[in-house]
Amino acid sequence: MPVRAWLGKRSAAACAPEALAALAALLVMPSARAQWSGQLSVTNDERWRGRSLSDGLPAATLSLGYDHRSGAYADASATVAALPHGVDLVAAGVDAGYAWRLSGGRVLDLGVTRREFRNTSAMASGTGYTELYAGIGGRSLSARLLYSPDYLQRGATTFYATLDGVVRPAPGWRLLAHAGAMRFVGTLPRYVMDRAQFDYSLGVARRIGRIDAQLAWTGGGPGTDVYRGRARSRQAVTLAASLAF
C-alpha cells in the first residue's frame, strides 16, 4: 500500500489521522522542499479491507512516496508474501493526489489510486481496481469517500466510506480504530454475494526509535473467506512492524 496507507496501518486503506497531521505540518512550512520518503513493513498476515491477501501467512511491503510543498504527492508500493509455493508478489499499487490545509489544522485530500492483485486466493489472480477518493482529517479523526468504476471487474461500481481515529494516551503510544463500509451499485458482479460489505480494526501502536509496532484485531463481512478450498473466518489478530526511511 502507499506510504500514507501504512502510517498508522490499517487497512487499507485509508489515510490515517497522523499522516494527515504530518502532511498539514509539511504544507505550512514555507521553506520546505519536495521530499522523498520510504517505509518497509512486515506483518504476520497482510490484510486488505477485512480480507487476507497472504492466506494468513507473513508478508512484507515496501512503500515509496514523494511529497511536494505545494501539496501534490505520489506513492507506490509492492507487497510480497511467504505463500505455500514460495515468496511471491501479491499486491502492487500507485496513487497520486493533492492535499490542502484548511482552517483548524484540518487537511483536505483528493486523489486517485490504482491497485493490482495476484497470487492471492482472496480474489481472482490478475484483478485490480481504480479508485477516486476525497478525504478530510485532523490530528485525531479522518474520513474518506472512495469511488471505483471497475472494482475487481470491469463495470463493477462501488462506493467505499472509511472512518479512522487515533488516541494518544501516553508519549509513543497510539490507540487506533478503523471502520469501512462498501456498497455495490448497479449490476451485482458474479463474484459478489452481498451488495453491502464492511470491515473494521482496533489496535494499539508503540513507537520505539525508528520502529513502529502495531497489534490489531481486524475483520469484515458478511460471510467467511475461502483459502485454497478451506473456509476461514474473516477475523484475525495481526502484528506488524514498520521502519521509515
**What does pLDDT average to over the chain?**
85
- Confidence check: pLDDT of 100 > 70: yes
- Per-residue pLDDT, averaged over 181-190, amounts to 89
The per-residue pLDDT for range 102-124, each reduced to its tens digit, is 988 899 999 999 999 987 766 65
Question: Confidence class of residue 34 from pLDDT cuts 50, 70 and 90?
Answer: confident
Number of separate domains in the chain? 1
**Strand partners of residue 155:** none
What range does the domain containing 117 cover?
Answer: 3-244
Spatial separation of the C-alpha atoms in residues 133 and 136, rounded to whole Å: 10
Query: What's the CATH code of the domain at 89?
Result: 2.40.160.40
pTM of the predicted model over 0.85: no
Q: What is the rounded CA–CA span in Å between residue 131 and residue 49? A: 14
Residue in the block written with cell 487537511: 107
